Structure formats: C-alpha cells, structure tokens
Amino acid sequence: MKRGAIFSNDLKGDAQNKKAKALIPMSMREEERLLQAYTELFRKAKSSTTLYQLTHCVFLQDNLIITDSSGEFDNAQFKNKPYEEDRLFLEIEEIFKNTAKRHRLFNCNATGELIKTKENFITRTITDEFSFYTSKPFTIEKFELLQNKIYHLAKAQPQNCHIILSSFAVQTKDLIIMNVVVYVECGKQPKMRFIVKNEVSDMDPVYSITKNKVKKNLQNMSVSSQENIQLPKLNINNTTYDFTFNNVFECKTAGGKKFLSCVEICLDHLEGVAKKNFFAYFKQKASGHESVPLQCSHIVTANSIGLISKNLVGMPTHADAAYYESDINPPTVHLENHHKVNFGAKGREFMVTKPRICGLLRPKFLKYAKYVNAHILKSYNKAITPAFMTSRSVKKRNKLKTNLKRFRFKA
C-alpha cells in the first residue's frame, strides 16, 4: 500500500491519517492491545511445534517511527531552534527509554530481569532514513562524542532492546558525507554497529560549504563513485569501532539464540547490497566451525523506496514514510501521531506492531546456509576422532546437527 506524503497538510493526507486511525479500536489502550497480541502468541503453544518454536526461536516486536523529513537539514526551517545537538540527544534518549519501557512491561519481571520464557523476545525501534540529519553534518569528533553518550544510555537499558537509528550525516576529513545508520543492542555490554550507505541517490540531501565567498556542494559517500575508500574509526568507551559498508551481521538474544540481521539504506535495497554481502558472509562461515543461523531479519530504512521481493534475504521490516507494505510488515496494534518532538519535524507517525517469530532466510539463502552448516559439520567430524572427543566437542557437534534439522515453520 503506497502511503504518500503522510505529513502533508493536504486534505488527502488528512483523510488517509483519519482512515488509518479508524482501523484501530481506540477504546483499548496500547498496552492492552499489545498484551493481547503477546497472549495470543502463547495461546498457540498448545501444539508441540509451537512449543518448540517458543523455546528455540527468536521473536521480534517492532516499533516504527516515521518522520517523513530530513531531520533539521533545512536551515531555514529550523534556524530559530537553538541547541540542536542537545535536542537531538534528548530525542534519542526518549526513543531508548520508551522502547525499554515497553520491553520491560511485556518481557521482564518486577525487578526488571527478563522472564525465563522471554529470553529470546526482542523489542526493536526503527526510524526511517535521514531522521537525524542535522543542519550541518557531524564531524567525526562530534559524532564520536554523541555515540559515547548513546553507549552509556544503551548500557542502562535491558538486554534484548535493539535500537536502529537511521540516519546521521557524518563528514570525513576529506569533506565527504557518510549516510550512517547506528544499530544498537542494549545491555550491560552494548553492541554498536555503524553501517554506511553504499549507493547515493540524487534525492539525498546535499550539504555545502562556503569558502572565499564561493559555495561548494559536498559529495555524498558512494562505493561505486570512489576508489580505495578508507573509512574512519571511532573510539567509544575506549574501544575502537569501524564504520562499515557491510550491512550483514549476527545478533544474539539474552537466551543465547543467534539470528541474522541486515540493514539496507534506501538505494542499497534497489542495488541488492545485502544479497552480495550474504554470499561473502557464507564464504567466511564455511571456513570456520560456527554454524550459520537460519532466522533472518531484513530491515529496509528509506525515504521513498518500495520493497523489492527479489532483493529480500529474510523477513522484511520496512521503515519508510512514502511506502508501507501492510501485507509484508507485521500487523499494527497501535498507531498515533506524536506532537511532542525535541528534534526535527513536528509530525511523526508511531506504529507499534504485533510480536512475531523472526522468519527464516529466503529459500535461496536458506539452501546456502544449510549447505554451509552441513559442510561445517562434515569438516568438524573429520577434525576429531572418537578417541579424542570430549563431552564439549560432542555437544558442539550435536548442536550443529540440530541446527540442520531445526525450524519447521515456513520462510
């Protein structure tokens, strides 16, 4: 379903918003609707298959924040709003705390610890592209300061809270602008990833500088237009982090279950960047002894692009103000407009989705993953002999075997 400009003041936009709101039974509070969705999920545990899934599968509950803006990129619109970077952090802080509040409500006990049966339940918040674009791009130094603040913010939130902040404009020493998505896994030891958009679009914001009274547009980072790109590094909590073009990575729940994630930023989805990176990932895994997770979440964060079925590698979640595939994204249990905004556009749409099992890799990639796992198991069996097998090596081998037979639900 094409949504169009959902925050425009035209009558059509208003009508669409009213129609969307009318679909939600407003007599029920958000917490009650979401609680009902979780309850329905557990009611299905009557069959042994679903019991198996509840024990061995990863579950995702997504919260989409759609802004339909480019943050505060437009200087004219936001020139009278001071303290831009402070307001930006307040906005991010609010996102973290609201996500954690919802996560604790449904997945934690009274002391804030994860309930045993919810150790594989993840609560995520995802924004659409350019949501955190500032009037001037971040320098590496200022971006590093912000990410250190975000790290400590993430450290105070419970495990299984994932925040996908899309996206920031970061300026390199060579005056090239990187479009960066920050993927944060919260907990006492937060994990952070800094994914750089591979392909630039003609519609992307273009920053400029004035030198000697001459205005010059700054180039947006693109893999295809630049050679020998040296991406900068960040120092966060005394640890070095890389900016990366690789958008495929593994995540792990508090219960120890791994699943694959990929984040495609707008035009990267059109170019099938995740597909290319997955083949490199499989090749790397085939040379080791760790099996490939079979569940995969495919996030597309954009500013005007539809989902392309042939380029999807896993279960899709789409964050885009111009497009929202209601038949592909998880069903929405709550929809509202947020009026209190610290940073950027005044209007934003906030969608709370039903929890769902993270789907499998798409058939072609699932076949590759199972082939890699079979290859790893075969290599592992050759590397050890029964005479030298320890209980640990037997357990590891059996885990590989189980992984090949696991997941009886459809991709």
Q: What is the pLDDT of residue 8?
A: 33
- The answer to whether residues 66 and 4 touch, using CB atoms and an 8 Å cutoff, is no
Q: How confident is the model at residue 4 (pLDDT cuts 50, 70, 90)?
A: very low
Task: Phi first, then psi: give them for residue 163, nearest 5 degrees.
Answer: -120, 125
Query: CA–CA distance from 10 to each of 7, 145, 304, 344 (Å)?
Result: 9, 40, 19, 20
Please state, in angstroms and rounded to a whole number, the distance separating the CA atoms of residues 375 and 385.
17
Q: What is the pLDDT of residue 348?
A: 82
Provide, rounded to the nearest whole percent, the portion of the chain with pLDDT above 90.
57
What residues have CB less than 8 Å from 222, skipping those under 6 apart? 198, 199, 200
Longest dimension (CA), the chain: 78
Most confident of 20-29, 205-214, 387-396, 402-411: 205-214
Of 157-171, 225-239, 339-353, 379-393, the one with minimum mean pLDDT is 379-393
Please state, in angstroms and rounded to a whole number, the distance separating the CA atoms of residues 387 and 378.
17
Q: Which two tokens stand for residue 12?
A: 């059509």
- Is the bond preceding residue 167 a cis peptide, omega within 30 degrees? yes
Task: Phi first, then psi: give them for residue 171, nearest 5 degrees.
Answer: -95, 130
Q: How confident is the model at residue 339 (pLDDT cuts 50, 70, 90)?
A: low
Instruction: Name beta bridge partners: 194.
Output: 182, 243
What average pLDDT score do residues 144-164 get?
97
Neighbouring CB atoms inside 10 A of 123's CB total 26
Rg (Cα) of the chain, in Å, rounded? 22
Give tens-digit pLDDT for 345-354: 767 888 889 9
Q: Which of 341, 409, 307 is nearest to 58 (CA)?
A: 409
Please state, in angstroms and rounded to a whole number, the distance separating the CA atoms of residues 198 and 247.
9
What residues have CB less than 8 Å from 166, skipping those under 6 apart? 126, 127, 128, 129, 130, 131, 132, 181, 263, 265, 301, 319
Give tens-digit pLDDT for 21-75: 434 443 467 778 888 888 888 777 656 667 677 778 999 999 999 887 899 998 7
Handedness of CA 366, 372, 376, 378 (dihedral sign): positive
Of 11-15, 72-76, 146-150, the one with minimum mean pLDDT is 11-15
Task: Phi first, then psi: give them for residue 235, nearest 5 degrees.
Answer: -110, 110
Q: Which of 34, 33, 51 is nearest to 42 (CA)?
A: 51
What residues have CB less than 8 Å from 107, skipping those under 6 apart? 114, 115, 118, 121, 123, 158, 160
Residue matched to tokens 């309930």: 115
